[in-house]
């Protein structure tokens, strides 16, 4: 019975965080009402404080919960691949797919860095650091084995993840017609990793065809 009760409590906690993320995105931290979040989560208004003692803690936990989801899946990808480039591509693709599947959590992050909830930008960056380290380690390995040229590895990691955020933010409104989120990401990442300049051999081939 104790195990089942813990499972029910955890399911309720995740439901609260999902509803809270949606409220924080749509109304901003200041406009969101913790009693409304409790009501939409299907629990008593006073009960929510048994899970989260304050609105600020609720917001922070929503950020941590999304990071936990991303990290669990990301570590599975990294551990399943021996080639760092293959692992990096899969990890970045997963990031976009999860962002599209869990819109309210992805939008919560975006709102913390760029939107109404920027008072939590420092907290978001701190929580995000653990996920960034996974990407950074793979970029570093790609530089060390000669797959990537010498670059600022941290800046490269931020660039790749920033690109992902743009895909997630624009997917529903602008990018859906190109395919599912994973397909769109593959096409964009290929342009970034392989470059958009025409190589010497292709330039020669084009010149001959004129």
Domains of the chain (ranges plus CATH)? 56-196 (1.10.357.10)
The conformational region for residue 15 under phi > 0 = left, psi -120 to 50 = alpha, else beta, is: alpha
| Residue 179, φ and ψ in degrees, nearest 5 | 140, -175
pLDDT at 93: 95
pLDDT at 88: 96
Residues 6+ apart with CB under 8 A from 157: 132, 135, 136, 139
**Nearest one of 74, 53, 174 to 132, comparing CA atoms:** 74
Contact assessment for residue 164 and residue 105, using Cβ atoms and an 8 Å cutoff: no
Q: Is 66 exposed, middle or buried (0-12, 13-18, 19+ CB in 10 A)?
A: buried
pLDDT at 59: 93
d(CA 32, CA 28): 6
Contact assessment for residue 63 and residue 108, using Cβ atoms and an 8 Å cutoff: yes
**Residue numbers of the chain with a pLDDT score lower than 50:** 1
pLDDT at 33: 92
Q: Is the pTM of this model over 0.85?
A: no
pLDDT tens per residue, range 95-109: 999 999 888 888 888
d(CA 171, CA 188): 12
Contact assessment for residue 185 and residue 164, using Cβ atoms and an 8 Å cutoff: yes
pLDDT at 196: 80
Contact assessment for residue 108 and residue 87, using Cβ atoms and an 8 Å cutoff: no
pLDDT at 32: 92
Question: 192-196, long-range: CB within 8 Å, 24+ apart, which pairs?
Answer: 192/160, 192/163, 193/89
pLDDT at 190: 92
pLDDT tens per residue, range 71-94: 999 999 999 999 999 999 999 999
């Amino acid at each position: 019975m104790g195990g089942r009760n813990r499972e029910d409590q955890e399911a309720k906690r995740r439901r609260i965080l999902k509803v809270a993320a949606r409220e924080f995105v749509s109304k901003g931290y200041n406009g969101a009402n913790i009693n409304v979040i409790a009501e939409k989560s299907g629990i008593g208004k006073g009960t929510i404080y048994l899970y989260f003692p304050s609105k600020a803690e609720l917001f922070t936990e929503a950020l941590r919960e999304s990071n936990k989801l991303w990290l669990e899946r990301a570590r599975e990808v990294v551990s399943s691949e021996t080639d760092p480039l293959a692992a990096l591509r899969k990890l970045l693709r997963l990031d976009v797919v999860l962002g599209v599947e869990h819109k309210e959590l992805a939008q919560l992050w975006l709102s913390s860095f760029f939107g109404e909830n920027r008072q939590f930008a420092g907290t978001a960056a701190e929580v995000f650091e653990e996920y960034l380290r996974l990407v950074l380690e793979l970029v570093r390995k790609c530089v060390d084995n000669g797959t990537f040229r010498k670059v600022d590895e941290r800046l490269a990691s931020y660039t790749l993840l920033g690109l992902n955020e743009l895909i997630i933010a624009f997917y529903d409104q602008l990018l859906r017609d190109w395919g599912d989120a994973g397909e769109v990401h593959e096409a964009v990442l290929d342009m970034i990793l392989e470059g958009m300049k025409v190589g010497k051999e292709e330039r020669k081939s084009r010149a001959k065809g004129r």
